Amino acid sequence: MTEGANMTENESETSTSVAAEPAEETTIMETEEKHPDQGEKENGGGRGKIQVQVPGAADESDFVHPEGGWGWVVMLAAMWCNGAVFGIQNAFGILFVSLLEEFGSKDDEDLRFKTAWVGSLSMGMIFFCSPIVSVFTDLLGCRVTAVGGAAVGLVGLLASSFVTSLGPMYFTYGILFATGCSFAYQPSLVILGHYFKKRLGLVNGIVTAGSSAFTVTLPFALSGLLEKVGLANTMRLLSILMFVLMIAGLAYVPLLPKPVNSQRPGSRCPPMSKVFNVNIWKSLGYRIWAFGIPAALYGYFVPYVHLMKHVEERFGKDANKEVLLMCIGVTSGVGRLIFGRVADYVHGVQKVYLQVSSFLVIGLMSMMIPLCNVFGGLIAVCLLMGLFDGCFICIMAPIAFELVGSQNVSQAIGFLLGMMSVPMTVGPPIAGFLRDRLGSYDVAFYLAGIPPIIGGAMLCLIPWVEARRIRREAAMKQMLEHKSGGQGEHDSVI
């Protein structure tokens, strides 16, 4: 299906593209719970990141989305946001090498373990804050949240440039900068639903390609800068990206009317049931998914943090290591487009198998890293890793739709993002610890390949559980029909 172009009425109402939680002028649509098989029709292919936006139900039916105009400026601003936030995170491996050199002492036994915490805390915080950011976006609106978040991120990054040891860096880069990024990121996805309805899939695809574009270019820029101006000045220059992000946030002029049902009368807060939606937990399939995905991600951020250092150790300081990040960025972008489209042709909850295959390939590729003794091998590994990384990301929203139905999808994804923060945070320090103790990264990369395989195996239960649920529901329905039919006959006799 062409993005956006062939969306049905349903699809455009509940686009799969953006925002994890009901946010400003955004609420969960009060549509009827869809049968899991119907969900496929509504998910519109689910491009890009794994958030879902369901724009405000209030008067949205009367609201005509501009499908362009200022919306294109908003799209560019959101693209910048996606790129700046995840481009910097994805290129952490380059900063990591520099942090080791600048802050580390050769005799520190835990050098890589301690340094990896900086990047992994940062990546983890972005996800950890997700559910909280949704509430803020609800209360303060997209623009204030995004601009405020970018300002905090800017302060965090600038402060990091003045820091000369790891301790404060955990706070400035790992907490402050990342919290700001999280607050800037989520509204950038929510706001797209104010401007686009029919084209939301396409626009979201372009916006998420921002992360791939920055992942392709930033590593080269960072390496050049680190060499020429040093770590502190490089961070100061990176702050410019955050400054532009702040300005970009000003573009998020809200258009949708505030939904009447998203707040209690006389209160600025949404009702508790909107903040904590327990419906998602009723689906066993979702419960398996919400634990299987995080279980698969313990190794996810390990290559982003440690691959650059591993390449230096194996191929020497002059190896063109940035090319590897570039490969991941390129194929991840391509993967999002290809697999987003492939997902449209995969029936219902069977889409989970696409994610299972992604994890299998990502896991195997991670295990292949230590086996590559020629640089070309690593390039091949990174190309494949990126491709299936793109698949895993773009298939998230469609699967959430299948498992919990359109009205619960934003909560389902918001919670999942929060859960993902744990493996994202602990994976890289464990890999660093293994490298510190064992003298090479080999075991770390072998082990990083195991969680995706275990998590993937867990996900294989989902189609089976869902098929069983559908069978039971059908039997129940038949029984009820039978009963009410019998009742009718009885009544007529009387």
Please report, as ranges, the residues that interact with ligand TYR according to CB under 6 A.
Answer: 49-50, 86, 90, 211, 215, 393
CB of 184 within 8 A of CB of 153? yes
Q: Residue 486's CB: how many other CB atoms inside 10 A?
A: 10
CB of 138 to ligand TYR, least distance (A): 20
CB of 86 within 8 A of CB of 211? yes
Nearer to ligand TYR, 103 or 289 (CB): 289
Nearer to ligand TYR, 56 or 149 (CB): 149
The residues near 240 (Cβ < 8 Å, ≥ 6 apart) are: none
Q: How far apart, in whole angstroms, are the C-alpha atoms of residue 131 and residue 311?
A: 36
Residues in the chain: 494
Q: How far apart, in whole angstroms, are the C-alpha atoms of residue 386 and residue 373?
A: 20
CB of 332 to ligand TYR, least distance (A): 6
DSSP conformation letters of 245-313: HHHHHTT----SPPPGGGS-TT-SSPPHHHHS-GGGGG-HHHHHHHHHHHHHTTTTTHHHHHHHHHHHH
> Which tokens belong to 234?
């490089």
Categorise residue 93: left if φ over 0, alpha if ψ from -120 to 50, beta otherwise: alpha
Nearer to ligand TYR, 202 or 465 (CB): 202
CB of 14 to ligand TYR, least distance (A): 19
> Which tokens belong to 282?
């009723």
Residue 219 identity (one-letter amino acid): P
Q: How far apart, in whole angstroms, are the C-alpha atoms of residue 49 and residue 266?
A: 35
Nearer to ligand TYR, 157 or 393 (CB): 393
Nearer to ligand TYR, 34 or 49 (CB): 49
Nearer to ligand TYR, 296 or 393 (CB): 393
CB of 263 to ligand TYR, least distance (A): 28
Alpha-carbon distances of 446 from 312, 316, 363, 488, rounded to whole Å = 18, 21, 9, 65
CB of 18 to ligand TYR, least distance (A): 11
Nearer to ligand TYR, 91 or 158 (CB): 91
Q: Name the strand (E) or helix (H) holding 211.
A: helix 200-249
Q: Residue 312's CB: how many other CB atoms inside 10 A?
A: 16
CB of 50 to ligand TYR, least distance (A): 4
Nearer to ligand TYR, 111 or 393 (CB): 393
CB of 344 to ligand TYR, least distance (A): 20
Nearer to ligand TYR, 215 or 262 (CB): 215
DSSP conformation letters of 364-408: HHHHHGGG--SHHHHHHHHHHHHHHHHHHHHTHHHHHHHHH-GGG
CB of 260 to ligand TYR, least distance (A): 31
CB of 189 to ligand TYR, least distance (A): 10
